[in-house]
């Protein structure tokens, strides 16, 4: 694959601050790929609203937090185009076209959606918009003609749904949409929560946020889950399944030291507190430049607005072209464009 011509689309649901799990699962890949590929980052506010319709202020605030987090980890607005989903109404029209190509039964069987519905306790009262978010995400992905979609494992069924829609659309209406592929993060990219659960999540209250100040990071680390079988520092400890070591694997720049610590922990020669103190330092050091860039950006609100507004305008042009092609492929008379042109002549 010619990376320079490869289009990448990733997206975040703005529902709160991004955390270390987002970093290992998605952001690190974005930073790495930004100089090689054409990268769009979609801030999916309409998708975030599908399960927050009664709390829109959460979404509108988180839009700026998520943009700041992305810039803070080192995404360069000169290279990456940031797009606000609600600023591209053409995505909604693409969604409308695609909704006819999936069945209700299929959406209900989507493992990701199913799991999220279970977590939220929706049952039969799932908002239709939420059930259909994979279709709107298919519009995101195809609208930008994305070749690659870097996502965590949990989003694979959503990308697979996109691929099915593309296959169906192209076979009914002729070759029109770009077939995209999911790109998985490296093995071990999924970070456990501070409570030892398999996933770090804002709603699970087990996350260390990229914007957490040092004091909060230390506090969260010192109260982390470790090895429940270990009563004293002299007991042999378990490294596997111990989130403290998972974090050291992911963030300690000195991996030799991590190996030594693991050996000492297994042998019962180092206590939990000492390992945690070390991890707290590693994380505070890792987050320091991120915090600095964030503060720098926060002071430049006008530039922040410009980044999102100009990126959205640019993204909108791309999606509008895809929509035009899609409508033409379906064969609907292209009245809307001509009408818009004649209206602008009148007013």
Closest CB to ligand TRP among residues 72, 113? 113
Tell me the H-state helices in the chain. Answer: 20-22, 28-33, 45-49, 56-72, 90-99, 104-109, 111-120, 128-131, 133-143, 156-173, 214-222, 243-251, 255-266, 272-298, 301-330, 335-346
Which residues, at least 6 apart from 161, have a Cβ–Cβ distance to it below 8 Å?
Answer: 102, 106, 110, 134, 135, 137, 138
Q: Least Å distance between CB 102 and ligand TRP?
A: 16
Closest CB to ligand TRP among residues 63, 151? 151
Residue 313 token pair: 């305008």
Q: Least Å distance between CB 10 and ligand TRP?
A: 5
Residue 47 token pair: 């998708």
| Residues of this chain, 43-102, that bind ligand TRP according to CB under 6 A | 44, 47
Q: Is 11 in the site for ligand TRP (CB under 6 A)?
A: yes
Cα 18 to Cα 64, 109, 159, 213: the distances in Å are 11, 28, 22, 14
Site string (286-305) toward ligand TRP, x via CB under 6 A: --------------------
> Are 155 and 308 in contact, with CB atoms under 8 Å apart?
no
Q: Least Å distance between CB 202 and ligand TRP?
A: 12
DSSP 19: B
Which span sits near ligand TRP by CB under 6 A: 91-99, 134-142, 242-250, 322-330? 134-142
- CA R_g for the chain: 22
| Residues of this chain, 141-160, that bind ligand TRP according to CB under 6 A | 141, 149, 151, 155
Judged by phi (left if over 0) then psi (alpha if -120 to 50, else beta), residue 331 lies in left
Q: Count of residues binding ligand TRP (CB under 6 A)?
A: 14
Closest CB to ligand TRP among residues 175, 181? 181
Q: Least Å distance between CB 152 and ligand TRP?
A: 7
Which span sits near ligand TRP by CB under 6 A: 6-14, 103-111, 122-130, 168-176? 6-14
- CA torsion sign for 301, 302, 307, 312 is positive
CA dihedral 15, 18, 23, 25 (to 10 degrees): -20
Closest CB to ligand TRP among residues 27, 327? 27
Which residue from 86, 137, 242, 312 is in contact with ligand TRP, where contact means CB under 6 A? 137
Which span sits near ligand TRP by CB under 6 A: 5-13, 70-78, 87-95, 295-303? 5-13
Task: Please identify the residue of the shown chain whose CB is closest to the bound ligand TRP.
Answer: 11
| Residues of this chain, 232-261, that bind ligand TRP according to CB under 6 A | none
Round to whole Å and give the CA distance between 183 and 159.
Answer: 10
Q: Least Å distance between CB 109 and ligand TRP?
A: 17
Site string (268-287) toward ligand TRP, x via CB under 6 A: --------------------
Which residues, at least 6 apart from 21, have a Cβ–Cβ distance to it below 8 Å?
Answer: 190, 191, 193, 199, 200, 201, 207
Which residue from 51, 90, 93, 140 is in contact with ligand TRP, where contact means CB under 6 A? 140
Closest CB to ligand TRP among residues 42, 224? 42
Round to whole Å and give the CA distance between 80 and 67.
Answer: 12
The contact set with ligand TRP (CB under 6 A) reads: 9-13, 42, 44, 47, 137, 140-141, 149, 151, 155
């Amino acid at each position: 694959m010619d990376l320079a011509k490869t289009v990448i689309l990733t997206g975040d649901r703005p529902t709160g601050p991004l955390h270390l799990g987002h970093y290992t699962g998605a952001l690190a890949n974005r930073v790495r790929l930004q100089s090689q590929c054409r990268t769009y980052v979609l801030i999916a506010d309409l998708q975030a609203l599908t399960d927050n319709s009664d709390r829109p202020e959460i979404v509108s605030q988180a839009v700026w937090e998520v943009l700041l987090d992305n810039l803070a980890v080192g995404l360069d607005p000169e290279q990456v185009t940031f797009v606000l989903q609600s600023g591209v109404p053409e995505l909604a029209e693409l969604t409308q076209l695609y909704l006819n190509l999936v069945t209700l039964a299929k959406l209900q069987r989507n493992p990701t959606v199913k799991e999220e519905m279970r977590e939220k306790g929706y049952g039969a009262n799932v908002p239709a918009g939420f059930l259909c978010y994979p279709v709107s995400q298919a519009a995101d992905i195809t609208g930008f003609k994305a070749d690659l979609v870097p996502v965590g494992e949990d989003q694979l069924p959503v990308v697979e749904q996109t691929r099915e829609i593309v296959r169906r659309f192209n076979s009914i209406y002729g070759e029109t949409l770009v077939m995209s592929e999911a790109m998985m993060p490296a093995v071990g990219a999924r970070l456990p929560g501070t409570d030892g659960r398999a996933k770090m999540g804002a709603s699970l209250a087990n996350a260390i946020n990229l914007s957490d100040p040092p004091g909060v990071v230390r506090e969260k680390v010192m109260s982390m889950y470790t090895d429940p079988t270990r009563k004293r520092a002299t007991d042999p400890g378990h490294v596997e399944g111990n989130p403290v070591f998972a974090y050291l694997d992911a963030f300690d720049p000195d991996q030799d030291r991590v190996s030594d610590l693991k050996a000492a922990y297994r042998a019962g020669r180092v206590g939990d507190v000492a390992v945690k103190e070390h991890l707290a330092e590693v994380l505070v050091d890792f987050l320091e430049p991120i915090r600095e860039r964030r503060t720098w950006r926060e002071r430049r609100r006008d530039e922040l607005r410009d980044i999102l507004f100009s990126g959205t305008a640019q993204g909108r042009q791309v999606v509008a072209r895809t929509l035009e092609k899609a409508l033409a492929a379906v064969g609907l008379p292209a009245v809307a464009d001509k009408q818009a042109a004649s209206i602008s002549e009148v007013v």
